[in-house]
């Protein structure tokens, strides 16, 4: 079946994609300073231009997701759309990770043929990547010290002002936290999820202690080790149930989400099998997938840079490999969601939801 033509002017492939401009946007600098242009500089430019194109698409998806989160309530259509676009971002990230393999076909000597001509240009100056980080929730307060002190000094005035303005806007982390805090089922009609959950946790930990104490196959040393491990688990749960302890650990950087929002995320994870929470659970999982893929990208970038320049400083003035290693460990967006498994209990121990709560959640079969 032929497609119906809706345009009045014929569309030509090369003109539609602006290939005349696009394919004339690779200008190696090495040829300006030495007799022969460095062969691998073209590869270096094309890979980074491809990154920037995909960053543009990620920002397109992120901005649409943030618009959905601005609404007072997320509808079923909103969940589906957000999950689909988060999944697209995740797919793009996988592709970006694969591009590192292409860049790794360039040897350290190939890179050194043109590296010194790039000073002080650096990945620091990828404004789109910083936009992605800020929109996801990695704002100045949560960056490593080098970024806090030096990053904005390396930008021109226009880019600096743009990113500083973006820092003042709600990020996806902020919107997610607000959404989780609005979770309506934590306290409802004589049912307290927190009380029921705490009782289930206490019973689980008590049972675990009895198992350790009554296990004849464990030596006293092994029992002491496992009891110490149980105490650590107990302390994690204590923080979740105690406002003061949670606030103290948040101040120390162990938590970033508010206590109520984390409880909302725990609730969704525990009751993920219920129809009302399948999409919210998928949404949280997609955010974890994206955070994990960014961590993988930073790690692979770190290893590649180590191979390329060893212990040399970066072209942007950072400590090179050491700086990238620190960002891999610290520049996480949704660390609290990664740690959710700390607070999960067996399905068999889940507090049973009251009938009126099941009805209000639409869980009851017709």
Q: In the CATH scheme, what is the code of domain 40-360?
A: 1.20.58.480
- The answer to whether 336 and 250 have CB atoms below 8 angstroms apart is no
Query: Does the pLDDT value for residue 41 go beyond 90?
Result: yes
Report residue 235's pLDDT band, with 50, 70 and 90 as the boundaries: confident
Q: Is the dihedral of CA 128, 134, 136, 140 positive or negative?
A: positive
111-123 pLDDT per residue, tens: 989 988 888 777 7
Q: For the segment 80-109, what is each residue's pLDDT rounded down to a tens digit? A: 999 999 999 999 999 999 999 999 999 989
User: CA-to-CA distance for 329 and 144, rounded, in angstroms?
Assistant: 10
Round to whole Å and give the CA distance between 104 and 43: 11
Question: What digits encode the pLDDT tens for the residues 245-261?
Answer: 999 999 988 899 999 99
Centroid of chain to Cα 58: 13
> How confident is the model over 154-170, as a mean pLDDT?
92
* CA-wise closest residue to 54 among 127, 125, 104, 128: 128
Q: Is the pTM of this model over 0.75?
A: yes
> Is residue 295 a contact partner of residue 341, using CB atoms and an 8 Å limit?
no
The answer to whether 343 and 200 are in contact (CB under 8 A) is no
137: nearest Cα among 179, 165, 176: 176
Cβ-proximal residues to 103 (8 Å cutoff; 6+ apart), any chain: 43, 44, 47, 304
pLDDT value at residue 349: 87
Contact 177, 261 (CB under 8 A): yes
Write down the residue that tokens 């306290």 correspond to.
Answer: 187
CA distance 204 to 193: 16
So where are the chain's domains? 40-360
In this model, does residue 131 exceed pLDDT 60? yes
């Amino acid at each position: 079946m032929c497609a119906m033509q809706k345009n009045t002017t014929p569309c030509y492939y090369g003109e539609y994609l602006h290939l005349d401009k696009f394919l004339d946007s690779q200008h190696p600098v090495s040829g300006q300073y030495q007799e022969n242009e460095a062969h691998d500089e073209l590869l270096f430019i094309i890979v980074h231009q491809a990154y920037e194109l995909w960053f543009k698409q990620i920002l397109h998806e992120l901005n649409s997701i943030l618009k959905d989160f601005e609404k007072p309530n997320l509808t079923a259509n909103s969940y589906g759309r957000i999950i689909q676009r988060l999944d697209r971002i995740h797919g793009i990230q996988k592709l970006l990770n694969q591009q590192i393999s292409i860049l790794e076909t360039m040897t350290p000597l190939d890179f050194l043929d043109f590296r010194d001509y790039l000073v002080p240009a650096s990945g620091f100056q990828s404004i789109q990547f910083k936009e992605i980080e800020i929109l996801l929730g990695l704002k100045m307060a949560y960056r490593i010290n080098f970024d806090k002190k030096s990053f904005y000094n390396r930008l021109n005035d226009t880019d600096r002002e743009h990113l500083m303005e973006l820092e003042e806007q709600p990020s996806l982390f902020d919107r997610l936290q607000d959404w989780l805090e609005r979770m309506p089922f934590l306290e409802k009609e004589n049912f307290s999820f927190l009380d029921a959950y705490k009782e289930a946790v206490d019973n689980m930990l008590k049972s675990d202690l009895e198992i350790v104490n009554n296990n004849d196959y464990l030596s006293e040393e092994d029992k002491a080790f496992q009891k110490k491990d149980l105490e650590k688990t107990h302390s994690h749960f204590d923080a979740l149930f105690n406002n003061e302890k949670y606030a103290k650990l948040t101040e120390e950087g162990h938590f970033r989400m508010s206590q109520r929002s984390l409880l909302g995320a725990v609730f969704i994870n525990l009751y993920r099998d219920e129809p009302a929470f399948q999409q919210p659970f998928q949404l949280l999982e997609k955010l974890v997938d994206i955070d994990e893929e960014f961590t993988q990208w930073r790690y692979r970038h770190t290893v590649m840079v180590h191979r390329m320049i060893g212990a040399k400083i970066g072209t942007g003035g950072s400590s090179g490999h050491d700086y990238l290693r620190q960002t891999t460990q610290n520049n996480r967006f949704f660390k609290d969601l990664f740690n959710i498994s700390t607070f999960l209990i067996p399905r068999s121990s889940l507090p049973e939801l009251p009938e009126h709560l099941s009805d209000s959640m639409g869980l009851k079969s017709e």
